[in-house]
Chains A and B, each alone.
Chain A
Amino acid sequence: MNFITRYSHVRNRSLIRQGELICRDLRGTLPDFLDASFDSLGIGYPKFYKMDTLSKLGFLGAEMLLKEIPLLEDYDPFQVALILSNAYGSLDTDMKYFESTKTVPSPALFVYTLPNIAAGEICIRNGIKGENAFFIWPRFDAKQMHNYVELVMAADNTQACVAGWVDVMGSHHDVFLYLAEKKERGNALVHAAVHLQKLYELKGYGTANDRSEEANH
C-alpha cells in the first residue's frame, strides 16, 4: 500500500501547502505573481528567473511540497520518481517562441518548448534521479494518475513519487502536486484515485473550470 503524504497547489494566484494559504497576490500578471512569490519565499536559486512559466509553476509547487521534508535523507535519488501531467503541454512557451522567430529566435525560450523540461527543473532542484514521465491529458485524471504512480511504485527501486498536474496557458494556471510514499507519515491518506480527486478539487480556492476563457488572455 502507498500513501499520499504531502500535497500542494498553485491556483488563483495563490500558493497553498497542505490546504493552507501561504501567499496570494492578485495584482500584475501571472509571471509577476510567480516572481513575487519566489522572492517572498527567500529561496536563493537565481536560475528560477530564467525558467518559463510552466517550469516556475512546477518549481513553486515542488518547493511547497518538499521544502519541509528532507527527501534525500530518507531516499537515494534513484528511489524517487516524478510523474506529471497537463492539458496544454508547453504551448504557452511554444507560442512565445514562435513570436520571437518573427525577429530573432530566442535560444532561452527554445529550450523550454517541451513540457518535460519543467520536470527536469524540479529534478535538478530536488536531486531527483528516478523514473519520470509527463503525460498530456484533457483534464486532471485522478484514475490514470493513480494507476501510473502505482505501477511505478511497484518497481522495487521506487520508494517515493512526486506526482500531479502542472498546467498553464496565458493567464490560466493550475498546479496540484502530491508526494506518494511507500512509508506512512503523519496524517497520510491512502494513495487512491478518490482521494486524489478530492485533493485536486481543494474546496475554497476555486478550480480550473474557467480554463478555456483564461487561456485566451
Chain B
Amino acid sequence: MEQLMTDLKRQIIEALNLKHLKPEDIGDDQPLFVDGLGLDSIDALELIVLLQQHYNIKLANPQDGPQIFKSVKSIAEFIKANQPA
C-alpha cells in the first residue's frame, strides 16, 4: 500500500503537471480538490485517464468520483479493491 501511494503521488504530479510539488509534499490523507491540493474538474478527468492507463481500471460510475478521488489514500484503496487479477 505504501509503495502504491508513492507511485500514485509521482504519477499524479506527472499527469497533472504539478511541477511545483514533490511526492513528499502530498500527504496520504490530504484532500486533492478545493482547499487541499487545489485540483479542478479537468484534473479529475486526468485522474480517470491515469487509472485507465496505469492500472487498467475504468470508472464504472462517474458519480463515485468525489469519494474515490478524495485523497491519494482513497485512490490507492480503490485500486487495491478493483485492480484486475
- Which residues of A are at the interface with B, using a C-beta cutoff of 8 A? 35, 46, 49-50, 103-108, 111
Task: Compute how far the CA of A107 lies from the CA of B43 in the bound complex, rounded to whole angstroms.
Answer: 8
Question: Are B42 and A104 in contact (CB-based, < 8 A)?
Answer: no
A50 (CB) vs chain B CBs: closest residue:
B17
Q: Is B45 positioned at the interface, with any CB of A under 8 Å from its CB? A: yes
Question: Are B42 and A49 in contact (CB-based, < 8 A)?
Answer: no
Question: Are B46 and A106 in contact (CB-based, < 8 A)?
Answer: yes
Which size bracket describes the interface of B in this complex? 10 to 19
- Which residues of B are at the interface with A, using a C-beta cutoff of 8 A? 16-20, 38, 42-43, 45-46, 49, 52-53
Question: Are B17 and A49 in contact (CB-based, < 8 A)?
Answer: yes
B15 (CB) vs chain A CBs: closest residue:
A108
Question: Are A46 and B16 in contact (CB-based, < 8 A)?
Answer: no
Question: Are B42 and A108 in contact (CB-based, < 8 A)?
Answer: yes
For chain A, what secondary structure do more than half of its interface residues adopt (helix, strand, loop), or is it mixed?
Answer: helix
Q: Point out the residues of chain B lying under 8 angstroms from A105, CB to CB.
A: 49
Q: Point out the residues of chain B lying under 8 angstroms from A107, CB to CB.
A: 42, 45-46, 49
Q: Point out the residues of chain B lying under 8 angstroms from A35, CB to CB.
A: 19
Task: Compute how far the CA of A62 lies from the CA of B20 in the bound complex, rounded to whole angstroms.
Answer: 21
Q: What's the minimum C-beta distance from A32 to chain B, rounded to whole angstroms?
A: 11
Contact for A50 among B16, B49, B52, B53, CB less than 8 A? B16
Question: Are A108 and B46 in contact (CB-based, < 8 A)?
Answer: yes
Q: Point out the residues of chain A lying under 8 angstroms from B52, CB to CB.
A: 104
Q: Point out the residues of chain B lying under 8 angstroms from A46, CB to CB.
A: 18-20, 38
Q: Point out the residues of chain A lying under 8 angstroms from B17, CB to CB.
A: 49-50, 108
Task: Compute how far the CA of A108 lies from the CA of B17 in the bound complex, rounded to whole angstroms.
Answer: 10
Question: Are B18 and A104 in contact (CB-based, < 8 A)?
Answer: no
